[in-house]
Amino acid sequence: MAKNPIIEYQNITDTLQNNYMPYAMSVIISRAIPEIDGFKPSHRKLLYTMYKMRLLNGGRTKSANVVGQTMKLNPHGDAAIYETMVRLTEGHQALLHPLVDSKGNFGRQYSRDMAYAAARYTEVKLSKICSEIFGDIDKETVDLVDNYDGTLKEPTLLPVTFPNILVNPNQGIAVGMASNICSFNLSEICEATIKLMKNPDSDIMDVLLAPDFSTGGEVLLNKEEMREIYRTGRGSFKIRAKYEYDKKAHCIDIKEIPYTTTVEAIIEKIIELIKAGKLKEVSDIRDETDLGGLKITIDVKKGTDPEKLMAKLFKMTPLQDSFGCNFNILVEGSPMVLGVTDIICEWLRFRKNCIKRGIRYDIEKKSAKLHLLEGLEKILLDIDKAIKIVRETEEDAQVIPNLMSGFGIDEVQAEFVAEIKLRNLNKEYILKRTAEIKSLTEEIAELRDTLEKNKKIEKIIEKELKEISKKFGTPRKSSIVSDSEIEVEIEEKIENYPVVIFCTKDGYLKKISHLSLRFSGEQKVKENDEIIKCVDTDNTAEILVFSTSGEVYKTKAHEIPDSKASLLGEYLPNLLSMGEGERVAGVVVTKEYKGNILFCFENGKIAKVDIKGYETKQNRKKLTNAYSMVSPLVKVMFLPEDTELVAISNIGKALIFNSAQIALKTTKNSQGVNVMLPTKNSKLSDVRLISETGIKDVKHYRTKNIPAKGAVIRPEDAETPQLTLFE
C-alpha cells in the first residue's frame, strides 16, 4: 500500500486564507488595537478582574493575586499579564491618569534598564478614577460574553464616562497595521468633547492645543501640522526635554525628557558624541535619578553658552524626538484611522448608547417595583380579606391563585404579597410602601422622556464630563512652545586653520597642521605603503573617499583628529565604517565643490564628472553609484580646471592629451569616453599631470585626436621615476 507523501502541496492563497488570515484578524481585533473605550483586551480583562475582586474601594492586594485571578479571563502567562499591569500603575508613570494604585517598585517609563519588582513583592488596587470606568457596568450598559472556557462572563467594552482613548496613551503593532495614540490633558479633552457635542463643526484647537505626556517635556507646536493630525489621525510632532542651568556648578540639569525615549538612550548618545569629538563643550555626564525623580546632569566647560549647547544636543541626540501619530482604533470590530474629532464623535455615540442602556435598565427595574407596589395597593383595600384567603386556603400551592382571583392581581404581585411578613400586615407599613408609587411613576416618566430626547442625554454627558474634569483634572505636564520660536539654524563653531592632508596607497589619511608640519620629520607609513596624495587646504574642507564598491563616503576635515608625521594616521575603511572587503579607490579634497573629477578605468576610458554632483544639502555621509563599475577603476583625479595629462599603459606606452577633449558627463556613474585604445594584453595603468612626469619630448606622445594607442616610452623618458611605475 502506497504511503501518503510527507509534504503536501497546496496553493499559497489557500494557506494564507485558511491559516494566516484567522491569526492576523485575531491579533488585530483581540490583541493589538485599542477599542473606543481606550483599552486593549488585555487591559480590560485585568481591570475587570480587579473590579470583581472588590479592589475599587478596598485595600491593596498582592499583584500575584490579581495576576492569578486574571488568568481566568486572559489565557496568557503570568509574566505577560503582570507586564500589562505594570504599565497601568502609578509607579511606572506611563499614564497621565494611572488606573492602578500601586505600592512597590514598578520601574519607570523613562528608564530602559530599571527593572520592576516581581509580582509577589508589589501590591495594587484600582485607582479612584476607575470609578468613572466601571460606573454603570452593573446596569447592563455593555454586553457581557463568555470567557475562553465558558465559566465566567466578561465585558466586551467598559462604559467609560470620559474619552479615555485620548487621555491615556496606547501603542500596538498588529499584522499589517499598527496603532500609536498620544495622550491629551483630561480637562482639555472634556472641554473639547463638550464643545464638539454642542457643535460638531467647531474647531477644537481653541481648547485642545496639543498632546500632553506623563513625562512632561516641551511640545513644539506647529498649528497646521497639529490641525492635520486632529483631522486625519496621522502625522508627527516634536517633543523635547526641559532643562535648568546651574551657573555655580557649571552644569545643565535635565529633569523632563521626551515620552518616546529613555535616560539610557540619551546618555549613550551623548557619550558617543563626546568620544567622536563632536561635543567638546561637555566634560562629564551622569544619571542622578533618585526618589525625587528623573535627573540627568551634564557638566560643561567654562565659557560654554548653555543655550547653544542645548540647541546642539536637541539636534544631535534623543533629547528632542518625534512622536509619530497613527490613531488606529477598533470601531464595532473594524480598524479605522480616525482624527481626534472623529474619535470624540465615535466616543459620544458609544457613550450615548451606554446611557440609553442604563436608562432602559432603570426603567425596567423601577417598573417591576411599581408593578409590585400596585399589587400591594390593592391589598390595602381589604387587608382582612387577604388574611382570610391565606388562612382558609387548605393547600400551599393554592395561596397564589386564590390571591390572584380574590384581588385581581397577577402572579408576580400575588407572590410578593404572599411573602410579606405577618408583622408587616398593618396599615402603616402598607401605606408607607404604596406612597412610593407616585414618585416611581414620575421617575419612570422622566426616564422615558430622557430616553426619547437626545438633548437630555447630552446634558447628562456634559454634567459627567464637567464633574470628572473638576474631580480628576490636572494642570498640563508638557508645556507648549511654538516651533517658530525655536527654528534657529545651529551653526557649529569650527576652528579653522591651515592643514595638509596626506593619503597613502593602503588607505591611511593624516591631517597635519602647518604648525606641526613645520617641526616634524619624515612622514611615517606602514611597510610597503607610500604617500600618493598631498593636499594643502584648511580645517573646513570636505573629503570625498571613493571606495572599490562604487560608493563615495563623505566626511569633513574638522571631524578627523589632528595627526603628526610620526603617526600612521586614520585608517579610512575603519573611520568611515566601510563594508567588509571595501578598500579606498581614491580621495578628493574640496572646499567649494568647483571643478571636475576624472575617473580613469583599465579599459582606457575616462569619465569627467562635475564635482557639484557630489554636493548634498542633507549632510549625507554616503552616496551610492558614485562612479561606473563596468571596468576596474585605476585612478580618481580632481581637476580645478582643464589641463594637460599623460595616460600610461602597462606595456610601456604613453599618451598626452588635454582634459578639455573629454566631454563633461551629467551622470555620476557614466562609463566615460575612450582615451587610450587598448591593444592585446594592454590596459591603462595610470594617469598623471604632465608636470609630474618630467617628459622631455612632449610632441612624441601627443596626438591631435583621442582615442589613440599612444607612443612607446623612449629610454630617456623611461629614466624618469614617474614613468617607471607601470606594470
State pLDDT tens for residues 150-168: 999 999 999 999 999 999 9
Instruction: Name the grid cell of 718.
Output: 623611461
Strand segments (E) across 591-676: 596-601, 605-610, 622-623, 633-639, 644-649, 653-658, 664-665, 673-674
Among 20, 82, 116, 121, the active-site one is 121
pLDDT of residue 19: 84
- CA angle, residues 529, 531, 536, in degrees to nearest 5: 160
Residue-wise DSSP of 467-529: HHHHHH----SSEEEEGGGT-----------EEEEEEETTSEEEEEEHHHHHT--SPP--TT-
Report d(CA 449, CA 466) in Å as an integer. 23
CA pseudo-torsion sign 407, 412, 415, 420: negative
User: What's the mean pLDDT in 656-673?
Assistant: 89
Q: Clarify whether 121 is annotated catalytic.
A: yes
707: cis peptide before it, omega within 30°?
A: yes
pLDDT tens-digit series, residues 74-83: 888 899 999 9
pLDDT tens-digit series, residues 221-271: 999 999 999 999 999 999 999 999 998 888 999 999 999 999 999 999 999
**For residue 411, pLDDT beyond 60:** yes
- pLDDT higher at 681 or 643: 643
- CA angle, residues 565, 593, 557, in degrees to nearest 5: 30
Report d(CA 607, CA 601) in Å as an integer. 8
**Sorting pLDDT into bands at 50, 70 and 90, what band is 725?**
very low
**Sorting pLDDT into bands at 50, 70 and 90, what band is 473?**
very high
For cell 584648511, what's the residue? Answer: 538
Report d(CA 603, CA 189) in Å as an integer. 71
Contact 539, 497 (CB under 8 A): yes
CA dist 187 → 200, 394, 472, 540, 664 (Å): 19, 68, 8, 53, 65
pLDDT of residue 719: 57
Looking only at the bridges linking them, the beta strands covering 479-482 and 218-221 are parallel
CA pseudo-torsion sign 186, 188, 189, 194: positive
Contact 147, 154 (CB under 8 A): yes
Domains located in the chain, CATH noted? 33-160 (3.90.199.10), 242-318 (3.30.1360.40), 349-472 (1.10.268.10), 498-724 (2.120.10.90)
**For residue 492, pLDDT beyond 60:** no
User: What's the mean pLDDT in 29-53?
Assistant: 94
pLDDT of residue 350: 96
pLDDT of residue 579: 84
Q: What is the DSSP letter of 702?
A: B
Nearest to 253 by CA among 202, 303, 288: 288
Nearest to 340 by CA among 332, 348, 530: 348
Contact 395, 356 (CB under 8 A): no
User: What's the mean pLDDT in 396-412?
Assistant: 88
Contact 132, 164 (CB under 8 A): no
**Average pLDDT for the chain:** 89
Report d(CA 656, CA 717) in Å as an integer. 13
For cell 558617543, what's the residue? Answer: 272
Element at 61 (helix H, strand E): strand 61-62
pLDDT tens-digit series, residues 683-724: 988 898 888 887 878 888 888 788 888 888 888 776 555 554
**Sorting pLDDT into bands at 50, 70 and 90, what band is 21?**
confident
For the CA atoms of 21, 22, 28, 32, what is the dihedral angle to 10 degrees?
-120
- Residue 652's SS3 state is coil
Element at 144 (helix H, strand E): strand 144-146
In this structure, which amino acid lies at residue 54?
A: R
φ and ψ of 209, to 5 deg: -70, -45
Q: How many CB atoms lie within 10 A of CB 601?
A: 22
pLDDT of residue 2: 60
Instruction: Name the grid cell of 488.
Output: 534657529
Rg (C-alpha) for the chain, rounded Å, is 41
**For residue 543, pLDDT beyond 70:** yes
